[in-house]
């Protein structure tokens, strides 16, 4: 087994699923086994912290054929989704199976922590949430899965009652986080205050879709940071695309507020590259938030896949290494930093203990056929062994026969 810093050996893991130490001598291996530890060496594979998905939409995943998007843009996606919903193509059992299939793909990729937004409100109420929870229960021993109630609009003003009632129902059904899209609301402030108040009363965290637009005049991130400053609620702002369109002086004041308020940010290169910028045919912007400036200000920044093979993003393979590669190419990050955004930083914003190979860390790990983090991101080898709390929960063995003579 190889560690990212070049050390080789085997890993001793305690009953509680934490790393004890790296074993580099046969004598130490024997005494570790004698004292009841699990010892793993993974036959020379590179051992890294397990991957984590910061932002999925599991209720929508794998619906590209059920809800075909004829134009491939946002308008086409919304129409396709509404049409498929009206036609009753998202019945309970098929949604349970699709969510389970997406979770299986994430797990075999090496993902042990997943945060997924699930639509709540309107005519569907909490039906999708119940289906997602049923699927997630199958993976209880293998993954930490948390759901965000992505509440339908409006959450403020006329017509909001049905959606706010559904959000209350979701909270009582055990949803983990409260969500919504304040920048699309008739009254963004009222939406933010309602979400923060509800979360505080019920001890929930918050994850909002924020400023998913290239229009720099839309900047609810600043208001969000201001309003949650003295509220004891853990807040994540996902997307924050318009922040990336501001010049660096304009950004600074907003980012200072975000850092002071302790708000975490999730960048979502896949769906943003797919959906944003279609009305900018020349020098098309990438639709990413101001990743480097946020990191420099000390903000926790993670990266997620967002949609996967649905009308909002026709591709995506439920593998955080795909997101990491996009953060290298489109976000101009170095490979180690991109990897942290799909592993350690996700755990941090989700309030979970650090995973890795150092003594005392949670043994959520991935053993993969590569010799560096850069190669892992570049090649995304299919051959992977996944551990959660020191227990192997998925193993994919890839085999290739070449016949080139």
Return residues touching Zn ion (CB under 5 A): 306
Which run of H or of E encompasses 33? helix 26-34
DSSP state, 397?
A: -
Q: How far is CA 340 from CA 55, 162, 278, 319, 394, in A?
A: 15, 39, 30, 14, 21
Residue 205, number of CB atoms within 10 A of its CB = 20
Residue pair 220/192 in contact by the 8 Å Cβ criterion? yes
Classify strands 365-368 and 384-388 as parallel, antiparallel or unpaired: antiparallel
Residue 323, both tokens: 């997101």
Q: Which residue is nearest to Zn ion (CB)?
A: 306
Retrieve residue 39's tokens. 């010892």
Nearest to Zn ion of 211, 306 (CB atom): 306
Query: Considering the complex, what minimum distance in angstroms separates the CB of residue 276 from Zn ion?
Result: 13
Query: At closest approach, how far in Å is the CB of 239 from Zn ion?
Result: 7
Which of residues 40 and 57 has its CB atom nearest to Zn ion in the complex? 57
Compute the distance between CA of residue 170 and CA of residue 16 in angstroms, rounded to an integer.
Answer: 32
Burial label, 207 (beta-carbon count in 10 A; 0-12, 13-18, 19+) = buried
Bridge-based pairing state of the strands 365-368 and 144-151: unpaired
Tokens 């793909």, residue?
A: 105
Residue with tokens 């299939």: 101
From CA 299, how far away is CA 65, in angstroms rounded?
A: 38
Nearer to Zn ion, 266 or 325 (CB): 266
User: Please, what is the minimum distance in Å from the beta carbon of residue 277 to Zn ion?
Assistant: 17
Minimum CB–partner distance for residue 21 and Zn ion (Å) = 40
Minimum CB–partner distance for residue 181 and Zn ion (Å): 9
Question: What's the rounded Cα separation, in Å, for the pair 304 and 58?
Answer: 13
CB of 199 to Zn ion, least distance (A): 18
CB of 126 to Zn ion, least distance (A): 18
């Amino acid at each position: 087994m190889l560690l990212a810093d070049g050390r080789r050996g085997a890993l001793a893991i305690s009953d509680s699923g934490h790393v004890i130490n790296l074993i580099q001598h046969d004598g130490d291996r024997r005494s570790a086994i004698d004292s009841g530890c699990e010892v793993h060496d993974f036959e020379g594979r590179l051992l890294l912290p397990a991957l984590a998905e910061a932002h999925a939409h599991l209720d929508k995943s794998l619906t590209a054929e059920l809800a075909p998007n004829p134009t491939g843009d946002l308008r086409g996606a919304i129409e396709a989704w509404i049409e498929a919903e009206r036609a009753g193509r998202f019945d309970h059992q098929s949604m349970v199976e699709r969510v389970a299939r997406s979770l299986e793909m994430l797990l075999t990729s090496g993902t042990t922590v997943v945060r997924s937004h699930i639509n709540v409100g309107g005519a569907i109420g909490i039906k999708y949430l119940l289906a997602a929870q049923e699927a997630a229960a199958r993976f209880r021993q293998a993954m930490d899965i948390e759901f965000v109630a992505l509440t339908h609009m409006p959450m403020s003003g006329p017509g909001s009652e049905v959606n706010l009632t559904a959000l209350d129902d979701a909270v009582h059904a055990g949803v983990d986080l409260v969500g919504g899209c304040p920048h699309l609301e008739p009254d963004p402030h009222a939406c933010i205050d309602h979400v923060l108040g509800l979360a505080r009363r019920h001890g929930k965290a918050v994850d909002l879709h924020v400023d998913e637009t290239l229009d720099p005049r839309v900047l609810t991130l600043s208001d969000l940071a201001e309003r949650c400053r003295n509220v004891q609620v853990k807040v994540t702002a996902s997307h924050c695309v318009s922040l990336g369109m501001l010049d660096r002086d304009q950004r600074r004041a907003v980012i200072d507020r975000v850092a002071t308020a302790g708000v975490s940010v999730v960048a979502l290169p896949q769906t943003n590259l797919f959906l944003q910028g279609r009305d900018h045919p020349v020098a098309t912007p990438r639709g990413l938030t101001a990743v480097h400036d946020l990191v420099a200000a000390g903000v926790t920044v993670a990266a997620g896949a967002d949609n996967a093979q649905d009308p909002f993003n026709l591709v995506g393979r439920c593998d955080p290494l795909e997101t990491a590669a996009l953060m290298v190419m489109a976000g101009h990050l170095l490979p180690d930093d991109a990897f942290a955004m799909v592993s350690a930083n996700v755990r941090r914003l989700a309030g979970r203990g650090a995973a890795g190979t150092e003594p005392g860390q949670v043994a959520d790990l991935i053993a993969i056929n590569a010799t560096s983090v850069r190669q892992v991101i570049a090649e995304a080898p299919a051959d992977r062994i996944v551990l959660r709390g020191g227990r192997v929960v998925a193993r994919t063995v890839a085999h290739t026969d070449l016949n080139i003579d």
